[in-house]
Amino acid sequence: MNQSFLQRLRLAGVIEGTSTLVLFGVAMPLKYMADMPIAVTIVGMAHGVLFMILVGMALIAIKKVPISRRLALMVMVGAVFPFGPFIVDRRLKALK
């Protein structure tokens, strides 16, 4: 098992999950309550890039770690929901 890639996948999930919370909890309120749409532009772009990186890493992890296709799909679907990456991380952590 490739532990170093698994750790990077877990870290990417935590970072992407945190970016989702920052987008929803900080940037969107700034946009709508403080009339600062630039906050969503910046954080939203970063979140989108982080999401694509996480999806790519999940696909690579199928062969490299290896993880099951089902678990890779859980990583990708979990990234769509707030707190999802943190929930899926528990499954990834159990692979040690």
What 3 state SS string does 10-58 have? HHHHHHHHHHHHHHHHHHHHHHHHCCCCHHHHHHHHHHHHHHHHHHHHH
Q: What's the CA gap between 74 and 36, in Å, rounded?
A: 34
Per-residue pLDDT tens, the chain, 96 aa: give them. Answer: 999 999 999 999 999 999 999 999 999 999 999 999 999 999 999 999 999 999 999 999 999 999 999 999 999 999 999 999 999 999 999 997
Q: Please state whether the predicted TM-score (pTM) of the whole model is above 0.75.
A: yes
Q: What's the CA gap between 24 and 47, in Å, rounded?
A: 11
